[in-house]
A and B are shown apart, each in its own frame.
Chain A
Amino acid sequence: MSHYNRTQGAENKKASTRTVSKTKKQRNWKRWTIHLFPIPALLIYGLFIVYPLFAALTYSFFDWKGIVRGEFVGLKNFKDLFTLQPFSDLFWNAFGHNILYFALQMVFQNGLAFLLAYVIYKKVRGSEFLKIAYFLPRLLSVIVVGFLWKLILNPNYGALNVILERLGLESLQKAWLGDPDTALIAIILVNCWYGLGFGVLIFLAGFQSIPQELLEAGRLDGANSFSMITRIIIPLMVPSIMIMTVLTFIQSFEAFELVYAMQGSQGEPYHSTDTLAVYFYRLAFGGSTGGATTAVGLGSALAVVLFLFIAFFTALYLKYMQKKQVDM
């Protein structure tokens, strides 16, 4: 900036006649306007993303009456979150569910997506159709996905139990969302259904970026399928595996919409489908039961903990992406 101004100033001084200095001034003005360009984006992004996140951090140090800020209480909210009942039990309960969310998505969504992407990569007939078919659910709004599956999983009239009956598998019929043992797993599997196609596309892009020469070379060296896969394909797939892992991680720890759509803000039945984000929503905005008991301080403390947790892994991701850019 300083260098830029100095040359401009020098140019101004050099301008001797009145007319020349006028056009120079115009040009300087024209150049200077470039600094206005990022301002709209900075303002909107700063006001609605950066400010609220920092504010959430400070909120956690205060006592709150509804959404009116009380006195400074230091780390009390954090202490309560982890030691006071029922808050600490609810926290660890929800935390465990988030872990399960992540683990099952890794296996059922990403594992399956990897295999299917490989099948498409091998150019089976109909691969275009397969790609579109897997991706289709991703077009729906999460709320539509949640309600649609709620209807399908309905114990009395839902399609799933009817299908099980037709197949002679009555013994497997269940009130999927009403049973604390199956409700969370059902929701996570619905999430896998929703996210599968996205994973397929990411892994497919990974497979397609494997240089053909490497595969040819491996083949010429007489590598068998197994060592081709473990020695060449998997190592070259590490970037896409990383990306999907981190995205799934972030998404699992932010899981809210689908749970809310299918089981409401209480994580029914008996908090068996609670996730940290659902619990956070409840603390911040009160239950859906009509009682408007909010705990903004506790909610903010939870947000900070969750934020730091996600940020840590996100930082790893950024670092990795940076390294990748250097490599390129």
Chain B
Amino acid sequence: MNHTIWSKPFYYAFAFFVASVSIYPILLMILSSFKTSAEIFTSPLAFPQSFSLDTYRNLLEMVPFMTYFTNSVIVSVVSVMLILVTSSLAAFYIARFTFVWNNMIFFFFLMGMMLPIKLGIVPLFILMKDLNLLNSLWSLIFMYVATGIPLSILILTGFFRTMPRELEEAARMDGAGNLRILWNVVLPLMRPALGTVMIIQFIQSWNDFFFPLIFITDDLKKTIPVGMLSLFGEYSADWGALFAGLTLASLPMMVLFFVASKQFMEGLTQGAIK
């Protein structure tokens, strides 16, 4: 196709300009985290004069960042594992067995992708209170599993349906039970789908701050995103530490992304299109 309307240089320039707008704030965040507050105020755009880690030391003294970090890791890892277990069990059932209610169950789960659960937050708060889960990491884990299940089941069911049944039937002839078939035969073949689900759900649970905002008030039970909230409330003058906090909060996702950028991008779009 010829480009009579836009000449190439124009849209090169345009695309790269937008790219720099996308990246620059993140770069600014990382660079600023190595500056003192005074340096940020006097020369906000310059490179840091020396890459000192003082701001990070200050930050770790001000807030229990390692506690937040540990909480975030526990919540995300446990949630993702539970999502994988519960969703693959349910998806296996939906995709491989044809009982009358299978489609109903499938639709019931699908509904969850469209329900704005934030609007049920008052009953949820009371429910968590009754279950004695307020200020417990379990409140978050249950929420992330519950919100993660619909999409995960959708993706896994789609994959199950594309897989040949022969292997399963062979295993069944050998007397293997359903659980064994799922675990030993089916799941090893499902690694790509499981990986997609894992990445989508990990991003969601790691970055969420709505549920901990409501359920967690105990400082030692906070995850990184709500920990940020109190950091900004209390130390709003120490910009160096604030930038360091933001950088640290984002670091794990950045590292994972540079290890597996393709899977991240494919995973998230698959989440939307499916």
The smallest beta-carbon distance between A175 and chain B, in angstroms, is: 16
Q: Are A152 and B25 in contact (CB under 8 A)?
A: yes
User: What CA separation (Å) do A277 and B226 show in the bound complex?
Assistant: 18
Q: Are A250 and B116 in contact (CB under 8 A)?
A: yes
Q: Are A228 and B99 in contact (CB under 8 A)?
A: no
Q: Does B195 contact A (CB under 8 A)?
A: no
* CB-defined A-B contacts under 8 Å, sample of 17: A30-B178, A38-B105, A42-B105, A48-B127, A51-B127, A124-B11, A124-B12, A134-B22, A136-B22, A137-B26, A139-B257, A143-B225, A157-B40, A243-B272, A277-B118, A284-B121, A296-B122
User: What CA separation (Å) do A83 and B11 show in the bound complex?
Assistant: 51
Q: Are B177 and A307 in contact (CB under 8 A)?
A: no
Measured CB to CB, the nearest residue on chain B to A264 is B233
User: What CA separation (Å) do A35 and B89 show in the bound complex?
Assistant: 10
User: What CA separation (Å) do A37 and B177 show in the bound complex?
Assistant: 12
Q: Does A306 contact B (CB under 8 A)?
A: yes
Interface residues on chain A, number (Cβ under 8 Å): 99
Q: List the A side residues contacting B92 at CB < 8 Å.
A: 37
Q: Are A134 and B19 in contact (CB under 8 A)?
A: yes
User: What CA separation (Å) do A48 and B133 show in the bound complex?
Assistant: 12
Q: Does A267 contact B (CB under 8 A)?
A: no
Interface of B (DSSP majority class):
helix
Q: Which residues in A have some Cβ–Cβ distance to B below 8 Å?
A: 1, 4, 30-31, 33-35, 37-38, 40-42, 44-45, 47-53, 55-56, 59, 67, 112, 115-116, 119-120, 124, 126, 129-144, 147-149, 151-152, 157-159, 162-163, 166, 193, 196-198, 201-202, 205, 215, 219, 224-226, 228, 240, 243, 247, 250, 253-254, 256-257, 260-261, 277, 280-281, 284-285, 296, 299-300, 303-304, 306-307, 310-311, 314, 317-318
Q: Are A51 and B123 in contact (CB under 8 A)?
A: yes
Q: Mark B3-34, 1 if CB is under 8 A from A, else 0.
A: 11100100110111011111101101100000
Residue from the set B97, B203, B206 with the largest chain A CB neighbour count within 10 Å: B97
Q: List the B side residues contacting A31 at CB < 8 Å.
A: 178
**Known contacts A142-B209, A318-B114; A53/B120 CB under 8 A:** yes
Q: Does B269 contact A (CB under 8 A)?
A: yes
Q: Are B145 and A243 in contact (CB under 8 A)?
A: no
Measured CB to CB, the nearest residue on chain B to A154 is B239
Q: Are A144 and B25 in contact (CB under 8 A)?
A: no
Q: Which residues in B have some Cβ–Cβ distance to A below 8 Å?
A: 1-5, 8, 11-12, 14-16, 18-23, 25-26, 28-29, 40-41, 44-45, 82, 85-87, 89-90, 92-94, 97, 99-101, 105, 108-112, 114-127, 129, 142-143, 145-147, 149-150, 153, 177-179, 203, 206-210, 213-214, 224-226, 228-229, 232, 239, 242-243, 246, 249-250, 253-254, 257, 261, 264-265, 268-269, 272-273
The smallest beta-carbon distance between B81 and chain A, in angstroms, is: 12
Q: Are B1 and A219 in contact (CB under 8 A)?
A: yes
Measured CB to CB, the nearest residue on chain A to B128 is A48
Q: Which of A52, A135, A140, A299 contacts B117 (CB 8 A)?
A: A52
Q: Are B119 and A45 in contact (CB under 8 A)?
A: no
User: What CA separation (Å) do A310 and B125 show in the bound complex?
Assistant: 22
Q: List the A side residues contacting B16 at CB < 8 Å.
A: 126, 130
Measured CB to CB, the nearest residue on chain B to A201 is B269
